[in-house]
Chains A and B, each alone.
Chain A
Amino acid sequence: MTARASHQPPGRYRFRHLARMEWIKLRSLRSTWLTLALAVIAPAGIALATGGSNTTSGGMFVSNTLVGMLIGVLLTGVAGVLAMTSEYTSGTISATFAAAPRRLRVLAAKAAVIGAAALITGEAEAILSFFAGGMTLHHGITAPALSQPGVLRAIVLTGASLSLTGLFGLGLGAIIRHTAAAITVVVGIVFVGGTFIGQSDFAIRPYLPLYIVSHSLGATGPACLPGMASCWLSPWSGLGLLAGYAAIAMLLGGLILAGRDA
């Protein structure tokens, strides 16, 4: 119709274009870098400060040093929420969906970028915490070597959990859209609230996210000991369940994103 229509390049916008868009969005906010820095440094600091409280050289050391990782779990959960809700509160979402009306593709691109950033952060955090914890041990107590059974697995899986909680937050952000409400649900109800419930209800405790991170993923020993009220999930089942939670949140978020007016 007009002379202008002719200078369209071949093809169409793809996932990789959207992933680039989301990466630029993520890296161009100062809050991203502050969150990542806090997520890496705080847990290592806690591991450093509490290293001296280890009284044995056994496997408890690993889960002790990884306790600070729960901060990282909360932070990436919140970062995931914000990646979605900040677009709604600022109105950026209409620019985003006008640029890329295939909304599920946009959500997938966001998931890839948030998931990868949280994974790298989580692994860095876990490794740093492990070595920081080993630096302040009392005389005569030694940290287990990475080559000991379960040690490397505990570090890698705990680090990976940040990616899953980031995606969980992203999905909830797509469902709820309001920053304060979504953060309340993720942090207040799912993480903190769940932890309180778990203190009194031992039957559901092994299935609650923070207990999975601290007792299943971070464990080097058996998930079940004689005399325990209920067993923890094995590390891989724990990771699978966390992935399941993230998948459900993302699936519902995707359905709502596709169906509701932007």
Chain B
Amino acid sequence: MIEVCGLTKRYGSTVAVDRLSFDVPPGAVTGFLGLNGSGKSTTMRMILGLDAPDAGHARIGGQAYRQLRWPLREAGGLLESRAFHPGRSARDHLAALAASNAIRQSRVDEVLELVGLQAVARKRAGKFSLGMAQRLGIAAALLGDPAVLLLDEPVNGLDAEGIRWIRGLLRSLAAEGRAVLVSSHLISEMALMADRLVVIGKGRLLADTTAAELSGRAPSLEEAFLQITGDSAQYQARNLS
């Protein structure tokens, strides 16, 4: 369970996240949707205690992230697609993280197998393709078998097969009772993956709904998404006429 409560983050005069509140319940995939620059990554970084909010707070299982006794066993995060040293092997990267939370080392091989990286586990991760890097990030998020997962654009760089794999993985993780928050700027992807949708624009909550409800608002889901995010678009392309 993730609770986001009045979360606010400013960068100079830009308000990246603006009094944002929503919950991510267990047993479901919650899609976190918004156009580029709408504040999705910033929100996730604040939930994981990486950036400090200017106001509001986020809790995981009722606790502030910094208070967690074994953070990796309670929440797993995928933020940047390449959050590892290029000179280190996938296995060593995961082994180091596992050690920090007293996770047994055999779990490293389990998650490597789960994401399909066991064949390249001992190779320098700097040589990984974007898709492989993404898989390593997912392996790291799953390392502690956490009840909460936060994945920022996990399908980024994955091929069609990888996307389908991730969809199935997230669904089964939610079916096991975990709270899963997954961000994307692609509504079509989210419609297939998520039970619930939290839509933001310019850091503000625009909708907290389901894909079915949203698609009822307009002829197509994409249309409905663009309608609610329309006025909040950060970088609007001008039409050439």
**Contact between chains at B50 and A24 (CB < 8 Å):** no
Number of chain B residues whose Cβ lies closer than 8 Å to a Cβ of chain A: 48
Nearest CB to that of B48 among chain A residues? A98
With known contacts A13-B101, A261-B51, A100–B71 Cβ distance under 8 A: yes
Asked if residues A99 and B100 are in contact (CB atoms below 8 Å), the reply is yes
| Minimum distance in angstroms from B46 CB to a CB of chain A | 9
Asked whether any CB of chain B lies closer than 8 Å to the CB of A184, the reply is no
* Contact yes or no, B49 A101, CB < 8 A: yes
Q: How large is the interface on A (under 10, 10 to 19, 20 to 34, 35 or more residues)?
A: 35 or more
Any chain B CB within 8 A of the CB of A139?
A: no
A182 an interface residue at 8 Å Cβ cutoff? Answer: no
Question: Do A29 and B87 form a contact, CB below 8 Å, given A2-B147, A18-B100?
Answer: yes
In the complex, what residues of B have CB within 8 A of residue A24's CB? 92, 95-96, 99
Contact B74–A8 (Cβ < 8 Å):
yes
Are A25 and B71 neighbours in the complex by a CB distance under 8 Å?
Answer: no
- Cβ contacts A73-103/B at 8 Å (1 or 0 each): 0000000000000110011101111111110
Please, how many angstroms separate the alpha-carbon atoms of A95 and B50 in the complex?
9
Q: How far is the CA of A4 from the CA of B142 in the complex (A)?
A: 13
Interface residues of A in 204-262 (CB under 8 A from B): 261-262
Q: B26 and A13: CB pair below 8 A? A: no
Q: In whole angstroms, what is the CA distance A173 to B178 when docked?
A: 38
Apart from the given pairs A2-B177, A90-B82, A92-B83, 17 other A-B contacts in the complex at a CB distance below 8 Å: A1-B26, A2-B27, A2-B179, A5-B61, A8-B69, A8-B74, A17-B99, A25-B85, A25-B92, A28-B95, A94-B48, A94-B80, A98-B71, A98-B72, A98-B75, A101-B68, A262-B45
- Which chain A positions have C-beta within 8 A of B26? 1-2
- What residues of chain B lie closer than 8 Å to A29, measured between beta carbons? 85, 87-88
Residue B66 at the chain A interface, CB threshold 8 Å: yes
Q: Could you tell me which A residues sit within 8 Å of B by CB distance?
A: 1-5, 7-9, 11-13, 17-18, 20-22, 24-25, 28-31, 86-87, 90-92, 94-102, 261-262
Nearest CB of chain B from residue A94's CB, rounded to whole Å:
5
For residue B207, CB closer than 8 A to chain A, the reply is no
Q: Would you call B85 and A86 a contact (CB within 8 A)?
A: yes
Q: Which residue of A lies closest to B11 (CB)?
A: A261
Q: Is the CB of B70 within 8 A of A13?
A: yes
Q: Is the C-beta of B86 less than 8 angstroms from some C-beta in chain A?
A: yes
Q: Are A13 and B96 neighbours in the complex by a CB distance under 8 Å? A: no
Chain A's closest residue to B87 (CB) is A29
Contact of B214 with A by CB under 8 A: no
Check if B84 sits within 8 Å of A102, measured CB to CB. Answer: no
- Residue B32 CB within 8 A of the other chain: no
Q: How far is the CA of A29 from the CA of B88 in the complex (A)?
A: 6
Q: Using known A-B contacts A4-B176, A13-B69, A31-B87, determine if residue A95 contacts B74 with beta carbons closer than 8 Å.
A: no
Q: Are A95 and B87 in touch, CB under 8 angstroms?
A: no
> Is residue B109 contacting chain A, with contact meaning CB distance below 8 A?
no
29 A-B pairs in the complex with CB atoms less than 8 angstroms apart: A1-B1, A1-B147, A2-B26, A5-B74, A8-B69, A8-B73, A9-B70, A12-B69, A13-B69, A13-B102, A17-B99, A17-B101, A21-B96, A22-B96, A25-B92, A28-B93, A90-B84, A91-B82, A94-B50, A95-B84, A95-B97, A97-B49, A98-B48, A98-B49, A98-B77, A99-B97, A99-B100, A261-B51, A262-B50
Q: Give the contacting residue for B50; candidates A17, A22, A28, A261; CB below 8 A.
A: A261
